[in-house]
Amino acid sequence: MSFFVLTACAQEEKPNTETSRKPNIEKTEAEWKAQLTELEYEVLREEGTEKPFTGEYVDWKKEGVFVCKACGNPLFSSDTKFKSGTGWPSFFDHLGDSSVAEVADNSYGWNRTEVECWRCGSHLGHVFEDGPDPTGLRYCINSVSLEFQEK
């Protein structure tokens, strides 16, 4: 019986909160540059941030799934999108465990949590603990990191 309890606990460990993780898709920088626009490359591969209120999906209201612009991995559902007023698409949750990875980001002297695509390691945005119910989380994501797939 104890074996099963241990197994159940092990499965509850979040695979998406590791601090050093090898992406499942690895491409050379030249390959990424050939595939992405200049802005997409800057955000996804160099951890840049698009200017607020400029992204295609800030006020997007269609129902469907947002996938990673770099690799197509499903990341966020429109069901969890909310109006944050920040100028970036905001979600209070992500899809399953293989959608995003959360990584400590101490750049610029801030203690932030970076959100990466679980599959390809591309930068998506950051997650903050000032979101709405039911999670209290706010995934602040660059539009340019996303691609929308209608339901």
Catalytic residues, which ones? 140
Q: Which is nearer to Fe ion, 71 or 103 (CB)?
A: 71
Minimum separation from the CB atom of position 7 to Fe ion (A): 30
Minimum separation from the CB atom of position 89 to Fe ion (A): 16
Of 44, 93, 46, give the one whose Cα is nearest residue 68.
44
Residues in Cβ contact with 102 at an 8 Å cutoff, skipping those fewer than 6 apart = 16, 17, 113, 114, 115, 116, 127
What residues make contact with Fe ion under the rule CB under 5 A? 68, 70-71, 73, 117, 119-120, 122
Two tokens, residue 98: 């293989």
Q: Which is nearer to Fe ion, 49 or 132 (CB)?
A: 49
Two tokens, residue 1: 């019986």
Residue with the two structure tokens 């998506």:
124
Residue type, 151: K
- φ/ψ of 87, rounded to 5, equals 100, 0
Minimum separation from the CB atom of position 118 to Fe ion (A): 8
Q: Which is nearer to Fe ion, 35 or 132 (CB)?
A: 35
